[in-house]
Structure 1
């Protein structure tokens, strides 16, 4: 028998019963109570079922911070479908590929995204439902939500892939509800809390905002990008008590000199995840949000949002930092973490690759057994128990207190504003451009510790020196904006190291000089 508690929307349904008149969503001056949002989602679920009454297996959610973004997700979950978030800011070709790979049955869109639908569908015969912020629907509300097996995928996200094909990461209801349960134990969220929603729904961190707010009976208050550049008024006017963002946000505010003491005093909780959190950014944010608890969270999409945490303390965090960044902490309840070497042997002391096990670990990449086999393996942990582990590709060490300290990556994957980027995918697109015979992409640390930038180098005998700008424009047809290099430099030849390989260190030095000259 299916346990309804192990279903992603179960917390929302409980809040509908407990707090029907509480605000569940505040969006551009409009508010919807739990009862209203539930009614809209049930009506939309009926429409998504179609004339044959057979619920879709996978629903593409093509909406951006609109009523359809949030009620639409609930509607799909009410049907027992897997939600596949899509992003209208992505290149059409990439979105079309995601639709095809996911095997989407129905697309639920908002009015602003709808004009792109013909281009992303191509010849695909997929039913489309477009909903407005009015919440109107001619269909009657469905009476009983469908509760599927907890091991079925609640949502399917796509991350950057080395081959140019995004990797599908299915996250099961059991994965995500375990995470939400542990977070509810860790934080004292309640019906008076108001949560930011900084992330696009194609970013797994958005799931924390939505479902922790709705599980607690609190209110979700989505932020636009412009609010992140100066969040102080937004936080004050909306009574925000729970902040969640990537560390790049405090980094940029520090650069501007606007992160002043007590400027974010309404906050109770300040949470960061998605990339390394610089100590100075944490220190400055704590001064600005003087009444809040600051935490650094860590976790790859494959292990469901976050699986480690470190609570900021000026004395303890500073003493245990590495490379100027805050520790990523210790595993949350249910997660096991150990360090392994390249032969997948336990590392008891020193540096190693973080490997994770537990109920939040995904079952494997979407229809890609070969890639799954490269990241999942069975081995005994430090406690002697045999488990299935996920290889994160992150290098770390433990400090004297047993906390994990992030040191870097072992592959070509980096984080840009919290988004995972495979440098090989960018290089692949560069190599397909006219005249490019060779390319390399490096990251350059920003003027504040948190703002990394991508710089690309290309060569080709027919390339003119100023060809970089044209190549940038071409890349925008194929890659999301966060994967477009900040600069593309044309060089005559690549520097080589003593082994005859591309000298990445020399390219980084050159890139740093060009970016911050």
Structure 2
């Protein structure tokens, strides 16, 4: 590990004197000195509750000061933090508690009422959020100083959303999280006068990095839980937000609403991950937020973030994933591990210090995904073999082709659902689309396309328009057998289109 990597809990130390670090809507404001003090007090309390180094502490919290500071405090106390997505159901929460072996579980009273007997393992102490909130706010409480933990020490376990079976825990080190904050703050150009509206879940690596990268740049984070897209627009206006991170389904919703001119104008940068931005969506984002830079990004929890496309290239290369972010080495390889030629599809392999430590208590799945880096790697060591097929053009820009487990195999053709979906959303009136393969005795798989129409369009008329557009733009083997109009596409807890739920609709 690099000697200059700081532990995660050192992040609050970078703010300018008196600069705000955290603004809680309808609540308190906390400067960087206050963030440091609260981190130290909470860390001291956590160590008293969980004296063993590496003990897991879990939380199931709404966004607020406690949810924002807990990851720093747990890191300082030498514990391993396990944030639980507030949108998960009790069975998933019970699995995470049992699987992680958390000895402390912090949550609000209303969420405790959602749990049933047996959901919390014996030996796990359940604590009301009011207790640590009181500790943080009490100036008389003792505090721990910043830690000096080894950079490769386990810091967090982030559980996947559970869209493909039970959630699995990805093990992240201090270095993974600290370098991730460095990288994003660097390429986004975050600075002390920036304000980030944190709308994504803190249990999501992309969502948590909203906090860490903002603080690394010396800026202010505004945690925000919203019900409706217009709530986001109001918050951007109320807090002078400059930075907004989202996933494609959220951007689709945000461009469909009316924005006050001054709110849209305050945004300097829009970042996207969790799925590709389509050309029509990029166009609408530019129209709605004309002064903001757009940063398309690609990442996976097992290696945090892999690539980003600089805003200057979005116009000329809107379909590209961009190039490697700082601290990441991205290779495109053939099945034998050799590097592909320009425009030759291959598997994306992520090497370098952002690579996670594997899956918690799951050696089999760890061995399948975390394997020795290809011989061409400069970093060597363990790499994440993503399972994603990409290609690199002659300029070194990467393009997503598809996931091996999502590719549709029809009549001997390997079809990327993304290509069908992008063709669908170029049709005026189609807001979102998701393509799936369904079993077919003759073809192997036929294509079913789910779409959500813009509410201003007539669905019956639009279906015919869409069919004609797809016949015009796609070859015969890529034509959907069925087009299903839905008022809403199902989403997983991270806001992405839930393809597993759609697949269950196919078989139901």
Match of 1:515 in 2: 486
* Alpha-carbon spacing, 1:84–1:27, altered in 2? closer, same or farther (3 Å): same
* Alpha-carbon spacing, 1:280–1:259, altered in 2? closer, same or farther (3 Å): farther
* Alpha-carbon spacing, 1:386–1:232, altered in 2? closer, same or farther (3 Å): closer
Match of 1:317 in 2: 314
Alpha-carbon distance in 1 for matches of 2:80, 2:49: 20
Q: TM-score, normalised by structure 1?
A: 0.75
Do 1:151 and 1:174's aligned partners in 2 also have CA atoms closer than 8 Å? yes
Q: Deviations over 1:35-76 (max 9, x none)?
A: 333333333333323368556611102211133212333322
Please identify, of 243-252 and 445-454, the stretch whose mean Cα deviation from structure 2 is larger: 445-454
Q: Secondary structure at the match of 1:231?
A: helix
Asked if 1:82 corresponds to 2:80, the answer is: yes
Q: Secondary structure at the match of 2:297?
A: strand
Q: Secondary structure at the match of 2:8?
A: coil
Match of 2:298 in 1: 298
- Alignment map for 1:123-134 (pairs within 5 Å): 123-132=121-130
* Alpha-carbon spacing, 1:283–1:120, altered in 2? closer, same or farther (3 Å): farther
Among 366, 370, 377, the alignment partner of 2:371 is 377
Gaps of 5+ in 1: 415-441, 458-493
* Alpha-carbon spacing, 1:158–1:90, altered in 2? closer, same or farther (3 Å): same
* Alpha-carbon spacing, 1:230–1:381, altered in 2? closer, same or farther (3 Å): farther
Q: Deviations over 1:408-429 (max 9, x none)?
A: 2111499xxxxxxxxxxxxxxx
Alpha-carbon distance in 2 for matches of 1:52, 1:158: 21
Match of 2:41 in 1: 43
Do 2:7 and 2:174's aligned partners in 1 also have CA atoms closer than 8 Å? yes
Do 2:58 and 2:106's aligned partners in 1 also have CA atoms closer than 8 Å? yes
Match of 2:503 in 1: none
Match of 1:6 in 2: 6
Q: Deviations over 1:234-276 (max 9, x none)?
A: 212110011111122222234x364798761101221111110
Aligned-pair CA distance for 1:111: 4.0
Q: Deviations over 1:363-397 (max 9, x none)?
A: 22112121122123335455787553321121111
Alpha-carbon distance in 2 for matches of 1:141, 1:244: 36
Q: Secondary structure at the match of 1:505?
A: strand
Alpha-carbon distance in 1 for matches of 2:186, 2:383: 25
Alpha-carbon distance in 2 for matches of 1:233, 1:276: 26
Q: Secondary structure at the match of 1:69?
A: helix
Do 1:193 and 1:242's aligned partners in 2 also have CA atoms closer than 8 Å? yes
Match of 1:432 in 2: none
Among 360, 366, 384, the alignment partner of 2:360 is 366
Please identify, of 144-153 and 37-46, the stretch whose mean Cα deviation from structure 2 is larger: 37-46
Alpha-carbon distance in 1 for matches of 2:303, 2:103: 26
Aligned-pair CA distance for 1:347: 1.6
Aligned-pair CA distance for 1:168: 1.3
Q: Secondary structure at the match of 1:136?
A: helix
* Alpha-carbon spacing, 1:453–1:67, altered in 2? closer, same or farther (3 Å): farther
Alpha-carbon distance in 2 for matches of 1:364, 1:507: 35
Match of 2:158 in 1: 157
Among 441, 446, 449, the alignment partner of 1:496 is 441
Alpha-carbon distance in 1 for matches of 2:270, 2:65: 26
Aligned-pair CA distance for 1:230: 5.2
- Alignment map for 1:473-492 (pairs within 5 Å): none
Asked if 1:135 corresponds to 2:133, the answer is: yes
- Alignment map for 1:188-267 (pairs within 5 Å): 188-226=189-227, 228-229=229-230, 231-254=232-255, 256=256, 258=258, 264-267=264-267
The CA RMSD over aligned residues, in Å, is 3.5
Q: Secondary structure at the match of 2:483?
A: helix
Please identify, of 243-252 and 162-171, the stretch whose mean Cα deviation from structure 2 is larger: 162-171
Match of 1:183 in 2: 184
Q: Deviations over 1:322-378 (max 9, x none)?
A: xxxx31100122322122233434322311111111111112211212112212333
Alpha-carbon distance in 2 for matches of 1:6, 1:143: 16
Match of 2:282 in 1: 282
Please identify, of 223-232 and 274-283, the stretch whose mean Cα deviation from structure 2 is larger: 223-232
Alpha-carbon distance in 1 for matches of 2:379, 2:29: 49
Do 1:68 and 1:132's aligned partners in 2 also have CA atoms closer than 8 Å? no
